[in-house]
Chain A
Amino acid sequence: MTTVSHAVWNSSTEGGDRDALYLRRTLRSGQRVDHDGNVVVFGDVHAGAEIVAAGDVLVFGHLRGVVHAGAAGAETARVCAWRLEPVQLRIARMIARSPDRGDEPSVAPEVARIEGGQVVIERADRADDGRVPRG
């Protein structure tokens, strides 16, 4: 477990100015990560695991657990995963849950963020919320 001094995205998120936490591991059921900034996981987050971050949460792997980005209230926080299939996803004070049945498996990297008072999920390569400049 290492902490480095730069956030991954040049983040304007209130919580994201702080150090990002980088994890290279599998988070299994019952394991929980709390961090006062962005969290970047290189590995899978299994169902039953929890990540709570003041900033963004990026998962370079399969996200099946519960994740809370912007836990201190940052509504600009987002969750990005190579495969985004969380049981429940929270951003700031919004809670989104997976459909009760018949959800299609995720096939591409996706980003979840708040837009118009609800959590929206879109393909990472098509997401454009103005936070990350195009170019």
Chain B
Amino acid sequence: MGEVIVVTSGKGGVGKTTTTANLGTALAQSGSRVCLVDADIGLRNLDVVLGLENRIVYDLVDVVEGFCRLRQALIRDKRLEGLSLLPAAQTKDKTAVTPEQMKGLTDELRQEFDFILVDSPAGIEQGFKNAIAGADRALIVATPEVASVRDADRIIGLLEAAEIPPARLIVNRLRPQMVRKGDMMSVDDIVDILAIDLIGVVPEDEQIVVTTNRGEPAALIQGSRAGEAYRNIARRIKGEEVPFIDLEETSGFLGRLRRMFGQA
């Protein structure tokens, strides 16, 4: 039986879709059978980020309304054998689906996949309620900004109320240099405020812009800092203990010296 994981944040633009695409890619790369579900009905993006837009025939709403079978709507990734996408409808809105229908859908997907990653829309309304309806656990994406952290806190409270087990946190778009100068919240600050466990930190990486526009997840690219971070998160999702990359690592002679003495 597969596991349903919702990727959510409250605030828009913090990287839910990019995270979903990259984690799905990394999980599939490591041999898992993965289905990505785009729950952002009316504003679908996940297909674009994965470069699969041109393959869409049926979508999530077609399945729910019985126009097609689930199998017909699933799109196989062009690069990875184990990765599939259930696209959102673009011409409908969030009210086209109910939480009960979403739960039925994810339960059906559990039979065939190891991981079902649900990309949640921003906000706390119907679309969010749909996205979390069938979830076993949640990943919260937050950027080091006060507004993003505040919204994440709100979402964590709503997930608790929905009796979904404690969510884990992904800090996205961290800029270590700014943190060092004291111009950006640190990972510790964010974890301190939200009081939930961290599952990964993704550094700001220009390559993400390039890869998302091209429809090729960064997780596929060796040497991409963000890609490496996503691959590590995927391993942690599977229960592996992976040490955190020290993004705030001090460089230069003094830094090396400190590291030698185990202080950095």
A interface residues, Cβ below 8 angstroms from B? 26, 28-31, 44, 46-48
Which of the residues B124, B153, B158, B160 comes within 8 Å of A46, measured between beta carbons?
B153
Given contacts A29-B157, A30-B157, contact A47 B195 (CB under 8 A): no
Whether the Cβ atoms of A30 and B195 lie closer than 8 Å is: no
Whether the Cβ atoms of A29 and B150 lie closer than 8 Å is: yes
Whether the Cβ atoms of A44 and B195 lie closer than 8 Å is: yes
Whether the Cβ atoms of A29 and B195 lie closer than 8 Å is: no
Q: A28-B160, A30-B153, A30-B157 are in contact. List 20 more A-B contacts (CB 8 A).
A: A26-B195, A28-B153, A28-B154, A28-B156, A28-B157, A29-B150, A29-B151, A29-B153, A29-B154, A29-B157, A30-B124, A30-B158, A31-B157, A44-B195, A46-B153, A46-B193, A47-B150, A47-B153, A48-B150, A48-B153
Query: Interface residues of B, CB < 8 Å — how many?
Result: 11
Total number of residue pairs linking A and B with CB closer than 8 Å: 25
Closest to A46 in B: B153
Residues of A close to B156: CB separation below 8 A: 28
B interface residues, Cβ below 8 angstroms from A? 124, 150-151, 153-154, 156-158, 160, 193, 195
Q: Which of A28, A44, A48 has the most CB of B within 10 A?
A: A28
Residues of A close to B193: CB separation below 8 A: 46
CA distance A46 to B152 in the complex (A): 12
Residues of B close to A48: CB separation below 8 A: 150, 153-154
Residues of B close to A28: CB separation below 8 A: 153-154, 156-157, 160
Residues of B close to A44: CB separation below 8 A: 195
What's the least CB distance linking A98 to chain B, in Å? 14
Residues of B close to A26: CB separation below 8 A: 195
**Closest 6 pairs between A and B when the two form their complex, measured CB to CB:** A28-B157, A29-B153, A29-B154, A30-B154, A28-B153, A31-B157
Residues of A close to B124: CB separation below 8 A: 30
CA distance A30 to B10 in the complex (A): 12
CA distance A64 to B158 in the complex (A): 19
What's the least CB distance linking B109 to chain A, in Å? 30
CA distance A48 to B195 in the complex (A): 15
